[in-house]
Structure 1
Amino acid sequence: MLLLLGLVVALRTVAPTPDYAGPYPGASERANANGATNAPGMAPAPRVVSDTVASDAEAARFLAQATFGPTLEDIARLRQIGYSAWINEQVGFPVSSQLTFMKNAAQRAGTGDSVRRDWRLDAWFVNALGGKDPIKPTVLHRDQLRQRVAFALSEIFVVSDATSDLLGNAPHGMTHYYDTLARDAFGNFRTLLEDVTLHPVMGIYLSMMQNQKPDPVNNIRPDENYAREVLQLFSVGLVRLNADGTPLLDANQQPIPAYDQDTVKGFAHVFTGWTFNGCQAQGYFDCYYYDSSAPAWVTPMENQAAYHASAQAKQLLNYTGVSLPGGVLAAGGSGRGDLDAALDNIFRHPNVGPFIGRQLIQRLVTSNPSPAYVGRVAAAFNDNGQGVRGDLRAVVTAVLMDVEARDPASQPEHFGKVREPILRLTHLWRALNAKSKSGFLDEFWTLDGNLGQSPMYASSVFNFFSPRYSPIGELSQLQLAAPELQLATDYMLPANESYLMRKIFDAYVGNPGGIGDDEIAINLSRDLALATNPGALIDRYNTLLLSGQMSAPMRQVLLERLNGMPANTTAAKRERVQEALYLIVNSPEYVVQK
């Protein structure tokens, strides 16, 4: 619990900026439904930041937001070419594919198309850690930004094999779904929305697959599950928003719902008739469920007209500028035509830019962005500068290059975010060049219990944590979100610490006790030379792990601790390095990314 208290302190001890005030971002800056607006409620103009990376610490801070953790090599590369060129380079790198890794692993193992569920996690870590592919060494995984954005998207467009036996036995489909997020990470949001909607994994997870038109005789009504979540979680949210993400208020200063139950029913009718591709000849049911290597698992679903609710008019989203009169989709459309119209209706809703933009800011940069920051990112969503709506490359660039993300002097009070437990692990591993001998890892069944997270393994569609979560106490009193602290339970906090301790003190290259071929091990050899100079060792880890933001008191405590340890043997030097790593990665100053 001391760590939790330290996290609260770290979250609130950030220097305030003079032009931002108020316990809730935008509390006194909202527009209302009667048309009265003020400047903060509008989409602000972009604020330019320098493209030059002034220091290693500044580079590390950017990379902590844009990758799975800085490395010395990435810091040098970013400083050499600058922010814009680095982003362009990342966008141009080939997409690292989890499905390809799984197929290569099966080929190497001689199992044909038969793949193991735990290889899905191996594939995720191979792409997250980057570098040479352990199975195909000629392949380099360099697309850190793409993979980091894909992970952020996987926490918005959630699917999970934690609670679904069908998806637990469908690693081809699960990895292809994640590859879809990676492929679309710099594409258009409209494409992403359609690819997610028609993916068979999503079809099974939120029961859109084999959703049927109304049949009163057989007591069949269209399933509303996907209709609810695509609106609430994937696109517009529950309430109407201003351009800066603050709630639009009615005459009584109350938030205005973005849609009602009739809208949910309308979309539920749209999402009928869809099933596995290739099922036309075999009927509507029980097609490919138990053949996880079938092409249908990696192919968009198809519509069968006999099961689509074409006879009903459908109430969709109704908003200013909507192309459908009153937001109503006329009866008589085909399954494909109705889907196109419905996704267009969602995509053009004014909420989408601020709703998705704010969540990407939270996942990459800060939990409580100012309304102005959200507004600038939403403006990039609405128009990438060339008249294109929904350009995610422009959105990601706006998130990372905003003045609030890059310039500490422009950051509001309470800037920063708690690092997700799994990102603490990848950060450590990347900083210490961690690898396994085999290219696989033995962590599939241990991550969730020790970190509370495993990729695409959330307990529900609401992700591992809510973007609005605020712990009871000072943060909730200040109306501050700290989503990741939803994982900070009295069980999980010590579990995190113990797990990272084992990864530092046991899982290292050269451990005389031995490590398994499938265990990812950190490499301490690079930093052993600094063990006799604790100040230099701390400075290196201050850059790599804390982006140069370590406080003077923390540095003094570390110096006293390390100087009090012997360093007269190789083992003693190693223990100094391990102690420094252990204390830093479990400190509140590190756990809160600023």
Structure 2
Amino acid sequence: MENLTQQQACRFLDLATMGVKQSEVTYLLSLDDRGQWINEQIAQPYMDHLQQTRYQAHSRNLSASTQDCRVGAWFDIALNDNAQLRQRVAFALSQIFVVSEKDSNLIQNADALANFYQLLTQGAFVSFKDLLRDITLSPVMGLYLTMNGNKPQSITGQAPDQNYAREVMQLFTIGLHQLNMDGSFVLDEQGKPQETYQDSDIEALARVFTGWDVDNSNTLVPMVADETQHDTNTKYILNQTYPQGQTARQDLEQFLEQISSHPNVAPFISTLLIKRLTTSNPSREYVYRVANIFYNSDGNLAEVIHAIYTDRALFDTPSHHMAKVREPILAMTYLYRALHAYPGGGNDIIYDPMSYKETFNQYPLGANSVFNFYSPNHMPPGDLTQKSLTAPELAIIDWGQLINMGNIFYRCLRDYGQNRGNSSNKKELYVAPAALEDLAQSGQGEQLLDTINLWVLNAQGSPEVLARLQNIYNGHNNKFYAVHKMLFLAFISPDFMVQE
């Protein structure tokens, strides 16, 4: 038993789900054990992104899935799936192992992208090596980073394509510089970071990734090896020899074994996951503890996620080490989950997901490049840079984005909340903060304020924000009309947009 407080339970679920529902807070408090909750979540059946994408297309009377169907399905699942931790981790993984609909080979293939996202969902709690294998052989990744159809120099007269070879090292496994287990750089005698690999390693690894092709144009199954197109000569990668005569599969398996046991993988991937899930500026001690779990468990992601979310840093660390800016799209899913959103007119899909391309500056599998929507080490100019603090999400948050999202929040809370009426528009999502409205109409202003503080601000609202919420309530004769304005202010406040 952990003796969790209500505030701690809210904060934990804020980081571990796509948005906090108070029924889930009540359940976690009844367990009083984050570890048990995580274990139950790992075992929880989960929704399928490909199936839901196709269901979206069917419900819209379309003959084939579109990218809007895929993103609508993502929102369906984010809001409604009981396997919230799995979906939260999958979203984090999608920003590490990046593919994008903006690639010309993928823009017309929503099903393939949905299937790739499902691969990440399935792989959220497997071994890192198994996940990397599935990602490497995914036809979506093969098309996106041009490994598909890669041939040896003996056939083409030129060196094999190095795209996937470079990114799998730089972005997906070990990074550019050697790391200590706490994520700090290993320095040479001159005090400079040491590189993890050389160009010759990339050139040799590109030869490992020859001979793989999409299977009969089927982008929903793993790529297959064509041994006649594979470079079978000896290769030398990161001080390890790949013997002559190995098949494409043998070369791949040797690489997966080698790279997954590389000393950089544990701190590199652990840091990326922590930054996406709990804090933008983890302490060295936090990274060290999680990376050790990664290393000692041979990359068991279930144990790594358990370590990230049960570490003492979540509740004991000074706030600047345990804070992150809320991603815009997760701010939206939070609002909808917290306020029990539902499609209008008896519909069972999210038809128009909040003008997502214009509203959030991010959406699932919609990054402009393999480098994601932002760098994990982005430092905005000003105080944060002076204090050497990263805030990756601020790279996509500007005044235009804040205005667009504020407009979406306001329209949601007023037009499809306060004025929801009979909720008849099938293309809209409605919210029903009925419990809050009941408190307002019965004159329970203090309890209303406490409840909004709990539901939206994890019971950590600043005195300034709480005072403004109180003023809104006091300024309305008909207290019903105060509720959506109080919620709007809470959701656009820094207290909500910064998770700490």
Q: TM-score range by the shorter chain?
A: over 0.9
Q: How far off is 1:258 after superposition?
A: 0.7
Q: Give the aligned partner of residue 400 of structure 1.
A: 309
Query: Which residue is 1:16 aligned to?
Result: none
In 2 relative to 1, CA 215–506 (structure 1 residues): closer, same or farther, beyond 3 Å?
farther
Residue 380 of structure 2 is matched in structure 1 by: 471
Distance in 2, matches of 1:487 and 1:66, equals 22
Aligned counterpart for 2:94 among listed residues 154, 160, 164: 154
Q: Partners of 1:214 and 1:91 in 2: how far apart?
A: 45
Between the aligned partners of 1:462 and 1:109, the Cα distance in structure 2 is 33
262 and 117 in structure 1: CA distance in 2 versus 1, 3 angstrom threshold = same
Q: Name stretches of at least 5 consecutive residues in structure 2 with no aligned partner.
A: none
Residue 434 of structure 1: CA displacement?
0.4
Q: 1:512 to 1:383 in 2, by over 3 A?
A: same
How many residues matched? 495
Deviation per CA, 1:6-34: give whole Å up to 9, x if none.
xxxxxxxxxxxxxxxxxxxxxxxxxxxxx
Per-residue deviation, residues 331-361 of structure 1 (Å, max 9, x unmatched): 3211111111111111011111111111111
Deviation per residue, 1:31-50 (Å, 9 max, x gap) = xxxxxxxxxxxxxxxxxxxx
CA drift of 1:53 comes to 4.6
* Deviation of 1:412 (Å): 6.1
Partner of 1:301: 223
Report the secondary structure of 1:328's partner residue: strand
Shift, 1:66, TM fit: 0.4
Aligned counterpart, 2:450: 539
| Partner Cα separation in structure 1 for residue 343 and residue 488 of structure 2 | 20
Match of 1:503 in 2: 412
Partner of 1:316: 237
Q: Does 1:461 align with 2:461?
A: no
**Match of 1:395, SS?**
helix
Could you say which structure has the higher helix fraction?
2
Cα deviations by residue, 1:487-516 (Å, 9 ceiling, x for unpaired): 122322222222222222223375359663
Q: Give the drift of 1:118.
A: 1.6
What is the deviation of 1:368?
Answer: 0.3
Task: Give the equivalent residue in structure 1 for 2:206.
Answer: 268
SS state at 2:174 partner: coil
Deviations for 1:131-155, whole angstroms, at most 9, x for unmatched residues?
A: xxxxxxxxxx310000100000001
Corresponding letter in the other structure for 1:548: A
1:211 corresponds to which residue? 150
1:86 Cα deviation (Å)? 1.0
User: Is 1:411–2:318 an aligned residue pair?
Assistant: yes
- Is residue 459 of structure 2 the alignment partner of residue 560 of structure 1? no
Return closer, same or farther for 1:215/1:376 CA change in 2, 3 Å cut-off: same
The AA in structure 1 aligned to 2:486 is A
**Deviation (angstroms), 1:228:** 1.0
Which amino acid in structure 2 is aligned with residue 177 of structure 1? F
AA matched with 1:129: L
Superposed displacement of residue 443, structure 1: 3.3
Q: Is the 8 A contact 1:119 1:440 kept in 2?
A: no
177 and 512 in structure 1: CA distance in 2 versus 1, 3 angstrom threshold: same
User: 2:52 is aligned with what amino acid?
Assistant: F
Among residues 425, 428, 434, which one is paired with 2:341 in the alignment?
Answer: 434
1:125 correspondence with 2:31: no
Q: TM-score, normalised by structure 2?
A: 0.95
Equivalent residue letter for 1:309: D
Distance 2:452 2:174 in 1: 41
**Distance change in 2, residues 1:393/1:411 (3 Å):** farther
Do 1:53 and 1:83's aligned partners in 2 also have CA atoms closer than 8 Å? no
| Residue 136 (structure 2) aligns with | 197
Q: Quick check: 1:167–1:201 contact (8 Å CA) kept in 2?
A: yes
Does structure 1 residue 383 correspond to structure 2 residue 296? yes
State the match for 2:243 in structure 1: 330
Alignment of 1:22-101 (within 5 A): 51-81=1-31, 82-101=33-52
* TM-fit CA distance, 1:553: 2.7
3-state SS, counterpart of residue 63 of structure 1: helix
Letter aligned with residue 487 of structure 1:
I
Contact 1:377–1:399 under 8 Å retained in 2: yes
Distance in 1 between the 2:334 and 2:195 partners?
40
CA distance in 2, matches of 1:415, 1:54: 18
- Long gaps (5+) in structure 1: 1-50, 131-140, 280-287, 289-295, 318-325
Assess if the C-alpha contact under 8 Å between 1:53 and 1:59 holds in 2.
Answer: no
Is the alpha carbon distance of 1:537 and 1:143 closer, same or farther for their aligned partners in structure 2, counting shifts above 3 Å? same
Distance 1:473 1:463 in 2: 23
Pair 448,109 (structure 1): closer, same or farther in 2 beyond 3 Å? closer
Which piece of structure 1 moves more, 190-199 or 486-495? 486-495
Residues 376/446 of structure 1: CA separation in 2 closer, same or farther (3 Å cut): same
Kept in 2, the 8 Å contact 1:504–1:582? The answer is yes
CA contact (8 A) 2:17 2:85 kept: yes
Moved more, 182-191 or 52-61: 52-61
Scaled by the length of structure 1, the TM-score of the pair is 0.80
Matched residue SS, 2:124: coil
Q: Deviations over 1:450-470 (max 9, x none)?
A: 111111111111111110000
- Listed one character per residue, the Cα deviations across residues 413-462 of structure 1 (whole Å, up to 9, x for unaligned) are 44300000000000000000002132233435821211111111111111
2:150 counterpart letter in structure 1: N
2:389 pairs with 1:485:
no
The alpha carbon displacement at 1:298 in A equals 1.7
Which of the numbers 463, 483, 490 marks the counterpart of 1:577? 483
Q: Say if 1:106 and 1:492 are closer, same or farther in 2 by CA, change over 3 A.
A: closer
- The RMSD of aligned alpha carbons is 1.9
Q: Residues 53 and 157 from structure 1, CA distance in 2 versus in 1: closer, same or farther, beyond 3 angstroms? A: farther
- Distance in structure 2 (CA, Å) of the matches to 1:274 and 1:463: 25
Q: Report the identity percentage.
A: 36
Higher relative contact order (CA 8 A, sep 6+): 1
User: What secondary structure sits across from 1:297 in the alignment?
Assistant: coil
For 1:239, the equivalent position in structure 2 comes to: 177
Is the Cα–Cα contact under 8 Å of residues 20 and 455 in structure 2 kept in the other structure? yes
1-structure distance, mates of 2:337, 2:263 = 39
Q: How does 1:132-151 map to 2 (within 5 A)?
A: 141-151=81-91
| Whole-Å separation in 2 of the counterparts to 1:458 and 1:94 | 28
Say if 1:212 and 1:220, in contact at 8 Å, map to a contact too: no
- Name the CA distance, whole Å, in 1 between partners of 2:244 and 2:394: 47
CA contact (8 A) 1:154 1:181 kept: yes
Paired with 2:496 and 2:468, the residues of 1 have a C-alpha distance of: 15
Following superposition, the deviation at residue 537 of structure 1 comes to 1.7
Task: Tell me how far apart the structure 1 counterparts of residues 252 and 72 of structure 2 sit (CA, whole Å).
Answer: 35
C-alpha distance in structure 1 between counterparts of 2:403 and 2:157, whole Å: 50
The one-letter code sitting in structure 1 at the alignment partner of 2:475 is: G
